[in-house]
Amino acid sequence: MTIAVLGLVVGVLVVFALLSRFVLHGPVNAVSLYESVSREAGAPRRNDRCGKTADRRQWRCAVLRVEGSRAALYRVVVDTGGSCWRAVLANGGSEGIAMPRTLRGCVYRLQWRPDI
């Protein structure tokens, strides 16, 4: 009986973790948005954050380029009342940045990812 209860608890935790990572949306803030944008861009992980602009829904996120130490600047617009976003590369013509020109994604409750 104890093993069955323990198995059920572990199963529920695993299901909750998977739902939190791929289904359940989380709060949008400077850190969570940066993590989501950098993950979708395939950029290396670093402790950074996005910055707000004058428009409440727009942010600027400078993510580290995969092949170098220079950052690619994305202009990010968060959907009204949600945690999904779309981004456009703002410095696309400069220095041959090899990053995706557009990105789409959502901020989820858990933002884990494999280290890149």
What confidence tens digit (pLDDT) does each residue in 100-109 have?
A: 899 999 998 8
Residue 114 lies in a domain: no
Residue 115 lies in a domain: no
Residue 63 lies in a domain: yes
CA dist 97 and 101 (Å) reads 9
With bands split at pLDDT 50, 70 and 90, how would you rate the model's confidence at 19? low
35, 83 contact by CB (below 8 A):
no
Is 74 in a helix, a strand, or coil? strand
Residue 113 lies in a domain: no
Q: Which two tokens stand for residue 21?
A: 């990572």
Query: pTM of the full predicted structure?
Result: 0.75
Residue range of the domain that includes 85: 2-106
Structural domain count, the chain: 1
Residue 116 lies in a domain: no
Is 88 in a helix, a strand, or coil? strand
Residue 40 lies in a domain: yes
Strand partners, 86: 77, 104
